[in-house]
Structure 1
């Protein structure tokens, strides 16, 4: 009997990855290949669709070379929400005045479209209520408006504008479809009425996109996990070293694939945890945190929940019959790296680390040593006099203010390793207070269904201090999947669903989500964190006061 495998492909900011995944969601083999990014001007970040496709082909060949082609039942993709511009016959078109034609992708983190986002937000169009009240300059419509206003030589030749996940689906099947996830979350598609809004596009000056029934931005919108066309074309199959006709599932944005992978994850429960069991089964009570350079906070509801500073509700963006709300922190892992690497003791610590020892584990061990020496019951009490507002790169949620800045209260002149450990811990806690701020905003202010648990994947999910801080500060159970590569698993789930192995996408997520470790919140630290959270919120008010004083 032929074995059954799926291939999940994930395109992150700096690399392409592919994984061979089995029927139960276990990653058997994976391959990573860097992709190139150009930075031709300040705040401009560009990539190449052909460079990315070449990396995809390399990775897929590598993970499938020891299996039979017949055993690969499906392949699917997730990717960053970056804008791909193509001319006739799929040729690459340059996206900047100084770039070359192969640089045809405006990366998600590109911030060139600030003026265009401001113009769009000034319209107060009703569609903006689904992006927390204002469109982000990282989304695709402001970037398309920038192209029209600043690069007519490219704009006049545009044949198709794709989100990167949809480009990969098109490149592999030859069929021009768009994922509901991409267009709803990043293109201001009207998911409530399942249509493009000609009124919106005309009002902001992009009436060109309405031509020929919106063919440039997509006429056929598909649910994630639905099969695309007749599968791999002969050409794509040759390039990927797979069989023509291999099923291709409709894509997801990368963070959303991670959320899909985790929503079906079950915690390994002890007898004393049984009261949690029913709550942990309810998709509406789960908050998925995809923690890397930035952090995305994703949750599902049966009924729409509108909230300022939180994107959504996006109908069907991940699972049919559910609405997605998406919060986030623009800087998370990159913020901790910045704080640690700019400290005077960073180089000294790095020099004495073992081959497989990471600086965050070193700092975690140092914090535990400090706790014992000072007689505290928990490391959290070490930051009693040190408080942080973490928005060094602006606030995505729930305030939606890119102009907010970071704040630290309680600094002294110490510059030893302990001072670094304390500062690191204070920033970890501040990120967790930021998550609590998002939760409180949704549950208390907007009456969203209460949360029962948090699910973690990504680089920061491997940091026990980070995860435990979230559990304690939010007073919610935290689940860390046993399978660490849940973004790749989520991508593979899309293919499994398209192949109809387990039925719909929700059933597929439950069958392939696996199990995870449960971290319970400590009640003994709740009062302490409540008081520090009050300081956290006060720091926001103080920053606003400072701005008011200076504006006068």
Structure 2
């Protein structure tokens, strides 16, 4: 018998789970951590000391509660949010707060203080044709560290923060330093959050990038402040051992292996890929893992780099050795549910009822929805919100619009303060999270990713109705971990075990673990309903984009506004010829730009100049309306019917058989592209 410990530092709590040698959970513990928010600002801060104290508490509690023999604990792994930790030369906390309190030495991932600095970085990088932005969906995000570092340098008193700061850590790397004393950093954090360059050819800190923004001092002594040595995932060294002092704090033995630190979403992806796939013979690159909590991350692996406008990545070698990772995301997923449910006037009534029945508020909402379903005699519970629509950009849009200032839109709400109304809004926000997810999947599929299934892990996977609604919206199988298992903590524990075992074939180990799952099969009868609501979802988002881009409240978008709007909608800026062509096509009696109606019409009919391969991909995606990544015979029937092309089923069947070379009932994009480009005269 041996044990592996997984530690997860989330937004509002620290969690610990201990696994046996078959990766089954034995015991877990959770402890809340403080979030310091300055009212009226976008500043969110935490304390590294408090986080470490909470970790020590959770580990000791698990050892005691689970009656674990510490002689059999072989490894420990850490994951955390991508928050920025600042320490001085003696490794003491350095304030990042305008309060100048040194205990508040972490800028949280959700902190949006560095809007101006991030915009400047994106503009200068674009002007200098720096291809670094290419690997971040076209622009650096507020959730990444460059803008925050520049904000600290410019906005905090030099002798209070910047001159005192000698070590900047992404939070996962801070935890490994705390456990081992090693100043080595992980490729995961450095590439994803600090613009470290990584490809098949080489990995390096880019001095030109940092120097462009007056941060040359970060380049000194071979980037000592950011990390001179950056380690590949799950590689081993003599510095991976738990120190004696820390072992005493944790209540375990020193000398055990400490895993590669991971950003929490990447730990969730690793744990998710270790779960048993409900789709036979699917490769890691065909499995989308959604790590869903306060925010959500859409993690996709690929053998070749796939560039998706508005989606972070592709990042090389940050999770599975030799593979690239794309990371879509939702800035407010679980937070959107909290906002809608807890902000409703009937929430206190719901909470009291849940306490009385010894159930969770979510359980009570499901009971109420089931009663409404029965009362209105609907065929599916989702039909209850046919006239309620919303988007979930309450904290901006992370992907694929990639706009931190975008707001949410709600339509169809009436003067109703009842529990029934609260239940309907709860259902509507879950649907909206799924529609937003579909938007991300469409962008990733359009760029070249191909998915056969989706796994949802993290806290939201346990929210009633959420997995099934996602399956119905995506029209793909969705699966979650069974029972008490947790993909994020599992991934963290696996990271420690991989280092302890000096494992080289990560994919083989993940397939071996094959943790049990619960599968949700899509209801085909719900596809049309959700497609209609998804169309409305996109329109509401376009209305909000129009409102935001109409910066002077003119009621129309001029040429400069359209350059910004095109980036929001398409992920690339329209050039002046496209702008001139668009405006010359407007009616002569129209205002000096696009009104809301003409903007929405243009977006819906947009047809960029694309090469034949792109045209083929667009046609393929139009036929693959549920983003499966392949075409079935039913897709062919539907396409010919929509185009009003009258062919017999025999003719369509024959054409499909010629494309379906292996006879599995599926036509891949490669086969489809070959058919579209086939020239019988060649």
Fold agreement, TM-score > 0.5: yes
Residue 137 of structure 1 aligns with which residue? 142
Describe the shift of the 1:209–1:428 C-alpha distance in structure 2 as closer, same or farther (beyond 3 A).
same
1:479 and 2:484 matched:
no
Partner Cα separation in structure 2 for residue 411 and residue 108 of structure 1 = 32
The CA deviation at 1:347 is 2.0
Describe the shift of the 1:363–1:36 C-alpha distance in structure 2 as closer, same or farther (beyond 3 A).
closer
Residue 394 of structure 1 aligns with which residue? 396
CA contact (8 A) 1:258 1:290 kept: yes
Residue 194 of structure 1 aligns with which residue? 203
Query: SS of 2:36's equivalent?
Result: coil
Describe the shift of the 1:230–1:441 C-alpha distance in structure 2 as closer, same or farther (beyond 3 A).
closer
Residue 256 of structure 1 aligns with which residue? 266
Of residues 399-408 and 496-505 in structure 1, the stretch that sits farther from structure 2 once superposed is 496-505
1:218 and 2:227 matched:
yes
Partner Cα separation in structure 2 for residue 34 and residue 429 of structure 1 = 29
1:150 and 2:155 matched:
yes
Of residues 49-58 and 306-315 in structure 1, the stretch that sits farther from structure 2 once superposed is 49-58
Residue 209 of structure 1 aligns with which residue? 218
The CA deviation at 1:547 is 4.5
**CA offsets per residue over residues 380-417 of structure 1, 9 Å max, x none?**
12222222222122111110112221112223333322
CA contact (8 A) 2:85 2:171 kept: yes
Partner Cα separation in structure 2 for residue 541 and residue 8 of structure 1 = 42
The CA deviation at 1:548 is 5.7
1:179 and 2:186 matched:
yes
The CA deviation at 1:520 is 0.6
Residue 407 of structure 1 aligns with which residue? 409
Describe the shift of the 1:38–1:417 C-alpha distance in structure 2 as closer, same or farther (beyond 3 A).
closer
**Structure 1 regions of 5+ residues with no counterpart?**
270-275
Of 169, 176, 185, the match for 2:176:
169
Partner Cα separation in structure 2 for residue 259 and residue 379 of structure 1 = 30
The CA deviation at 1:97 is 3.5
Partner Cα separation in structure 1 for residue 2 and residue 516 of structure 2 = 21
CA contact (8 A) 1:502 1:511 kept: no
Partner Cα separation in structure 2 for residue 171 and residue 225 of structure 1 = 18
Partner Cα separation in structure 1 for residue 71 and residue 57 of structure 2 = 19
The CA deviation at 1:101 is 2.0
Describe the shift of the 1:346–1:239 C-alpha distance in structure 2 as closer, same or farther (beyond 3 A).
closer
CA contact (8 A) 2:235 2:502 kept: no
Residue 515 of structure 1 aligns with which residue? 516
Partner Cα separation in structure 1 for residue 53 and residue 465 of structure 2 = 38
Describe the shift of the 1:501–1:184 C-alpha distance in structure 2 as closer, same or farther (beyond 3 A).
closer
Of residues 13-22 and 195-204 in structure 1, the stretch that sits farther from structure 2 once superposed is 13-22
CA contact (8 A) 1:227 1:248 kept: no
Residue 569 of structure 2 aligns with which residue? none
Partner Cα separation in structure 1 for residue 518 and residue 111 of structure 2 = 36
**CA offsets per residue over residues 12-60 of structure 1, 9 Å max, x none?**
1222222211122222111222223333562222222222222222222
The CA deviation at 1:208 is 0.7
CA contact (8 A) 2:240 2:259 kept: no
1:57 and 2:66 matched:
no
Residue 244 of structure 1 aligns with which residue? 254
The CA deviation at 1:355 is 4.8
Partner Cα separation in structure 1 for residue 548 and residue 10 of structure 2 = 36
Partner Cα separation in structure 1 for residue 15 and residue 342 of structure 2 = 27
1:19 and 2:7 matched:
no
1:91 and 2:96 matched:
no
Residue 455 of structure 1 aligns with which residue? 455
CA contact (8 A) 1:225 1:493 kept: no
Residue 39 of structure 1 aligns with which residue? 37
The CA deviation at 1:531 is 1.5
Residue 379 of structure 1 aligns with which residue? 381
CA contact (8 A) 1:24 1:511 kept: no
**CA offsets per residue over residues 424-452 of structure 1, 9 Å max, x none?**
212111110100000111112x1x23211
The CA deviation at 1:150 is 2.3
Describe the shift of the 1:230–1:443 C-alpha distance in structure 2 as closer, same or farther (beyond 3 A).
closer
Of 24, 27, 30, the match for 2:28:
30
CA contact (8 A) 1:493 1:505 kept: no
Partner Cα separation in structure 2 for residue 544 and residue 33 of structure 1 = 39
**CA offsets per residue over residues 224-255 of structure 1, 9 Å max, x none?**
33335150122222222222211111110112
**Structure 2 regions of 5+ residues with no counterpart?**
555-682
Residue 273 of structure 1 aligns with which residue? none
Residue 339 of structure 2 aligns with which residue? 338
Of residues 34-43 and 295-304 in structure 1, the stretch that sits farther from structure 2 once superposed is 34-43
Query: SS of 1:89's equivalent?
Result: coil
Describe the shift of the 1:501–1:316 C-alpha distance in structure 2 as closer, same or farther (beyond 3 A).
closer
Residue 131 of structure 2 aligns with which residue? 126
The CA deviation at 1:189 is 0.8
Of residues 303-312 and 455-464 in structure 1, the stretch that sits farther from structure 2 once superposed is 455-464
The CA deviation at 1:318 is 1.3
CA contact (8 A) 1:476 1:521 kept: yes
CA contact (8 A) 2:11 2:294 kept: no
Of residues 458-467 and 407-416 in structure 1, the stretch that sits farther from structure 2 once superposed is 407-416
Residue 506 of structure 1 aligns with which residue? 507
The CA deviation at 1:487 is 1.0
Describe the shift of the 1:146–1:535 C-alpha distance in structure 2 as closer, same or farther (beyond 3 A).
same
CA contact (8 A) 2:311 2:399 kept: yes
CA contact (8 A) 1:76 1:495 kept: yes
Partner Cα separation in structure 1 for residue 361 and residue 87 of structure 2 = 43
Describe the shift of the 1:45–1:541 C-alpha distance in structure 2 as closer, same or farther (beyond 3 A).
closer
Structure with larger RCO (C-alpha < 8 A, sep 6+):
1
Q: Give the TM-score normalised by the residue count of structure 1.
A: 0.93
Residue 272 of structure 1 aligns with which residue? none
Residue 352 of structure 1 aligns with which residue? 353
The CA deviation at 1:542 is 2.6
Query: SS of 1:108's equivalent?
Result: coil
Describe the shift of the 1:119–1:361 C-alpha distance in structure 2 as closer, same or farther (beyond 3 A).
same
CA contact (8 A) 2:236 2:502 kept: no
Describe the shift of the 1:46–1:547 C-alpha distance in structure 2 as closer, same or farther (beyond 3 A).
closer
The CA deviation at 1:317 is 1.5
